Amino acid sequence: MAGGTFTHFLLQRLQKELKVDKLSRKQKGLVLSVLVLGVGSGSLAVKRVVKRVRKEQKEIWTVVTQSSGKGGGAKEGAKGSGKGKKRVAVDGVFLERLGKILKVCVPSFFSKEMLLVLTQGGLLVTRSLLTDLIAEQEGACGSALINGRTDSFLVHMMKFSLVAVPASVVNSGLKMFQKFIEVRFRERLGVYLHGKYLKDRCYYQASTQVDLPNIDQRLTEDVENFANSISELYNHTLKPFLDVVLFTRSLSRVMGYKTQGMLYSYFFVVALTLKSISPPLSLMHAQESGLSGNLRGAHHRLVSKTEEVAYNDPPAAMTEQLLLNKHLRSLLRYSSMTSVQKFLQQIADQYLVKYGASVVALSVYAIGTLGWAKEVSGITADGTSTRAKDYIRSMRLLQNTSKSVGDLILVYKRIAKLAGHTSRVAELLEEIDKMQDPKSREVNFYGAKGMPEVCLEPNRVAQVKILKPREPQTMVFDGVTICAPDGQVLVKDLSMQLGDKKDSMLITGPNGSGKSSLVRVIAGLWPLAKGTIARPSNDKMFFLSQRPYLVTGSLRDQLLYPHPSQKLISSSSRHDAAIARSASKNRPFLRDRDLKDALGKVELDYLLERYSLDTIVNWEETLSGGEKQRVAMARLLCHKPKFAVLDECTSAVSADGEEKLYQILVDSGISFLSIAHRPGVRKYHARRLEFDGSLQGAGWKVSNDL
């Protein structure tokens, strides 16, 4: 009865304030028609704007991804990974992906991460209890003021001040532990991804064969954003839930549970309404991250190719400027379109969750405490003070309850944002898992054109066998067939052997005939189409490419690579001790004299006049192309493998310098397989493997004619 009377009173008061009762029936009908038409036309206009904005966002995403050859553009599915990509949304797929990632972040119940989560939960419960206690003290202070009880006021003010001390500590602790959780989750996920990404050469496939754009961003920014979002979500979900439970119980003493049911019914309707009009926030966050990654990738490409661009500038710089501006403006335009949709959504959020909730909260309190069906009179001073105390405390709790329920309703925004970051990290994890499967490797390598016919033959054998230490250490090729990524057969049924004692073979042939392809197959970078390759393990082999890799560090570090330096090992975390031991396995014992001797053999001893072995400089910028290749050859001499595979590793060295390097290699007793074009190096090889580049016959022959 009280609720119906209050509603009737509210309607009458509203009509009086708006002076609707003074309008005629015709005028009331006209006003109603204008309101209906205005709301209807406004809704249609907003709907058209949203539709146009979403269409433009889709066009921006399609154009940018097509032009970069990544994502959902023309190459989607071209390499096998674009097919069957899961859409970004808050659904069962998101929950499944989130569960897998959280298992990585929180590996066990007794982990440090779980302890942080439980501690944070305890702080959240404490904060809710302290908020309830503070509201009680505020109400008591109000009651004391109304009654003029100075002693009581001072007592409750002192209690309020004392409660504020642990409240301040708890509030600060919540922020600190939220950051701790974010850092631990980021470390767990980052280390796990590094391990998966750097295993079985997945990093090579990811950069050359798989349609997974902006991997560096996914490994860094997206992992950071995920950890930040999940730690924030925990705070903004558990705390409001606890507040609602505790404050509802406290308010029940004044208002009862049924009256509060009206407030929760209102929020239920609001939640359904906001969900129905919400834009696809998850997809927008994921695509905006992708556009940001494209811009970052364009800048990275320019940094890595500065010399090539500078040689042709102008107009090369202007072309690069156009490209960078295109990526920047696409990102900003997309972000602006997102802001428009969020603006329209936030109007509803603010009105329904913030202001509408306040109106409903006041109405609920009035219904629960005031007797609208009776004449309000004859209230004593004690009754007034009690009502004032209950009002102050109840309104504080109602406001906190409304805010908490509102936070729970609006948490879908945070979940949508989390879904976007989750999809980016999960896609990386899923692709890495696929790359570690041999069948998926072949699918990724051959791409949209599918597997070549030779790979579909029944009972096909394609194996790269790593020889055991006790087996004869030779390189044997038996019926080896190599195909290019487009499926074209480069070499067919190659059979030969390379001995382990000063044996050598020169590989020659025109461009595109399969010389470097053979090296990549031997190293395991490309899949073997057919046949068997038996080769020693990596600790007995060494590969040198045309572009030497120089690490960040000293001259000593250059010669020790690919093994880590002692400085790197000592500065690594104790959690990486197993990795350090594994990377240092079979590392040669090299004295300073050995390192200097290797540098002298490749005619780089003059570097020791400028730098010591432990001097750290930017070697990529300091050394010329020929000097870099000489450093790589010195590195080979330091490691003394049984076999070396050389892919034009002396192309930047002068002709006479190249011959000297090959003579040093022959004198070292290392067997080698090399690709070189200058006639002068032929005499340093025992045999020649010639690729003719034709599709007729086997496409190769071995001869002693050098």
pLDDT in the model for residue 76:
37
Please check whether residue 151 is in contact with residue 80, taking contact to mean a CB–CB distance below 8 angstroms.
no
β partners of residue 675: 507, 647
Q: Which pLDDT value is given to residue 255?
A: 63
The boundaries of every CATH 3.40.50.300 domain in the chain are 515-526+536-703
- Is the predicted pLDDT of residue 416 greater than 90, yes or no? no
The sign of the CA dihedral 534, 535, 538, 543 is negative
Task: Judge contact between 226 and 461, C-beta under 8 A.
Answer: no
- Let me know if domain 2-71+90-436 sits in CATH 1.20.1560.10: yes
Comparison of pLDDT for 191 and 565, the residue scoring more: 191
The β-bridge partners of 554 are: 616
652 C-beta neighbours (distance < 10 Å), count: 18
Q: Under a CB-based contact definition with an 8 Å cutoff, are residues 494 and 477 in contact?
A: yes
Q: With 0-12 CB in 10 A as exposed, 13-18 as middle and 19+ as buried, what is 262?
A: middle
User: What distance in Å separates the CA atoms of residue 171 and residue 239, rounded to the nearest whole number?
Assistant: 12
**Cα(109)–Cα(113) distance, rounded to whole angstroms?**
8
Segment 274-284 shows an average pLDDT of 77
Tell me whether the omega of the peptide bond preceding residue 458 falls within 30 degrees of 0, making it cis.
no
Angle (nearest 5°) at CA 515 between 509 and 521: 160
> Is the bond leading into 314 cis (omega within 30 degrees of zero)?
yes
- Record the tokens describing residue 386, joined without a space: 């009690």
Identify the H or E element spanning 303: helix 281-304
Task: Enter the DSSP assignment of 221.
Answer: I
CB atoms within 10 A of CB 468: 9
Q: Assess whether pLDDT exceeds 60 at residue 382.
A: no
Least confident range of 29-38, 69-78, 639-648: 69-78
More confident residue, 251 or 532: 532
Query: For residue 203, how many other CB atoms are within 10 A of its CB?
Result: 17
**pTM to 2 decimals?**
0.72
- Any idea which residue has 């204008």 for tokens? 34
Sign of the Cα pseudo-torsion (261, 263, 264, 268, in order): positive
Locus of tokens 């040669």: 588
Question: Which of 498, 457, 520 has its CA nearest to residue 687?
Answer: 498
532 pLDDT above the threshold of 90:
yes
Q: What whole-number percentage of the chain has pLDDT above 90?
A: 12
Q: Above 50 in pLDDT, residue 81? A: no
What pLDDT was estimated at residue 294? Answer: 81
Those residues whose C-beta lies under 8 Å from the C-beta of residue 225, and which sit 6 or more positions away, are 289, 421
pLDDT for the residue 269? 80
In this predicted structure, what is the pLDDT of residue 629?
92
Predicted confidence band at 21 (pLDDT cuts at 50, 70, 90)? low
pLDDT computed for residue 363 by the predictor? 72
| For the chain, counts of helices (H) and of strands (E) | 24, 12
Assign 3-class secondary structure to 520-586. Answer: HHHHCCCCCCEEEEEECCHHHEEEECCCCCCCCEEHHHHHHCCCCCHHHHHHCCHHHHHHHHHHHCC
Between the CA of residue 603 and those of 96, 600, 694, what are the distances in Å?
A: 59, 5, 40
Q: Which residues contact 410 (CB under 8 A, 6 or more apart)?
A: 274, 349, 353
Helix (H, G, I), strand (E, B) or coil at 23: coil
Q: What is the pLDDT of residues 602-625, one digit of tens each?
A: 999 899 989 999 888 888 888 998
701: which strand partners? Answer: 690
pLDDT of residue 620: 85
User: How would you write 493-512 as a 3-class SS string?
Assistant: EEEEEECCCCCEEEEECCCC
Most trustworthy range by pLDDT among 123-132, 146-155, 664-673: 664-673
Return the closest-CA partner of residue 549 out of 632, 467, 449.
632
Determine whether 35 is exposed, middle or buried from the number of CB atoms within 10 Å of its CB (0-12, 13-18, 19+). exposed
Asked if the peptide bond before residue 562 counts as cis, ω within 30 degrees of 0, the response is yes
Average pLDDT taken over every residue of the chain: 78
Q: Amino acid identity, residue 348?
A: A
pLDDT greater than 80 at residue 163: yes
- Structurally, at CATH architecture level, domain 515-526+536-703 sits in 3-Layer(aba) Sandwich (3.40)
Say how far apart CA 327 and CA 298 lie, in whole Å: 8
Query: Residue 637 — very low, low, confident or very high, per pLDDT cuts 50/70/90?
Result: very high
Q: Is the peptide bond before 315 cis (omega within 30 degrees of 0)?
A: yes
State the pLDDT confidence band at 628, using cuts at 50, 70 and 90. Answer: very high
Q: How confident is the model at residue 282 (pLDDT cuts 50, 70, 90)?
A: confident
Mean pLDDT, to the nearest integer, of 83-102? 76
The stretch 153-175 carries a mean pLDDT of 84
Q: How far apart are CA 596 and CA 140, in angstroms?
A: 84
By mean pLDDT, which of 81-90, 137-146, 152-161 is the weakest?
A: 81-90
CATH 1.20.1560.10 in the chain, residue ranges = 2-71+90-436
Are 477 and 533 within 8 A, CB to CB? yes
The alpha carbon of 222 is separated from its chain's Cα centroid by a whole number of angstroms, namely 3
> 10 Å Cβ neighbour count for 445?
23
Distance CA 690, CA 515 (A): 9
Separation of alpha carbons 558 and 629, rounded Å: 12
Q: Is the pLDDT of residue 329 over 80?
A: yes
Two tokens at 260?
């509060």
Q: What is the largest CA-CA distance in the chain?
A: 122
